[in-house]
């Protein structure tokens, strides 16, 4: 079991900025970012976007960035190195009416081409299916005709079967 004295506890809170600072409501302003682009509260601690405090002080952020920059210099850099990276801005292009029409009809032409390709694929799937349905319809019609012939043949023999009635013995 670890024993702590009141001195250790007091020293801990003094290191953290005092007991009052630990539980005091902090003010936070979205406009306030430090030189590293991190949101900070009124006591210099970093803040999550949803408002929770990150227990990293403003002065420690530089050490963290230095450490991260030594591992991956292409991803994170310190403000003094920011000038090494150029920020590109997209320049809006101005098009003439003819250029806009050309782009528009180019898109429409591509759509028509793809529509033709789609129609060919659809026809390629539809024709065999249509042929199969036609064949099945023909088979069904032939079966109906066969069934009708069989029914006609059985009707001819029914009277002969019915003539041979046995006489009833119950009188």
Tell me 86's DSSP state.
P
Alpha-carbon gap, residue 141 to 119, rounded angstroms = 31
Q: Please state the separation of Cα 79 from the chain's center in Å.
A: 36
pLDDT tens-digit series, residues 106-150:
888 778 878 888 888 888 888 888 889 999 999 999 999 999 999
Alpha-carbon gap, residue 41 to 54, rounded angstroms = 10
Q: What percent of the chain has pLDDT over 70?
A: 49
What are the structural domain ranges in the chain?
6-84, 92-165
How much is the pTM? 0.28
Torsions phi, psi for 76 (to 5 deg): -125, 135
State mean pLDDT over 31-46.
Answer: 68
Alpha-carbon gap, residue 84 to 66, rounded angstroms = 16
Torsions phi, psi for 18 (to 5 deg): 100, 150
pLDDT tens-digit series, residues 84-109:
655 666 667 788 888 888 888 888 87
């Amino acid at each position: 079991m670890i024993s702590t004295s009141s001195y250790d506890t007091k020293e801990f809170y003094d290191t953290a900025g005092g007991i009052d600072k630990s539980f005091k409501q902090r003010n936070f302003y979205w406009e306030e970012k430090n030189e590293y682009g991190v949101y900070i509260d009124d006591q210099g601690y970093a803040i999550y976007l949803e408002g929770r405090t990150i227990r990293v002080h403003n002065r420690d952020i530089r050490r963290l960035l230095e450490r991260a920059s030594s591992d991956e210099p292409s991803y994170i850099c310190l403000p003094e190195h920011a000038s090494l990276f150029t920020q590109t801005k997209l320049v809006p292009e101005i098009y003439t009416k003819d250029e806009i029409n050309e782009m528009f009809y180019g898109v429409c032409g591509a759509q028509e081409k793809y529509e033709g390709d789609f129609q060919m694929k659809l026809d390629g799937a539809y024709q065999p299916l249509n042929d199969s349905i036609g064949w099945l319809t023909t088979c069904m019609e032939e079966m109906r005709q066969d069934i009708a012939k069989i029914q006609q043949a059985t009707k001819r023999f029914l009277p002969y079967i019915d003539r041979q009635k046995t006489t009833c013995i119950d009188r």
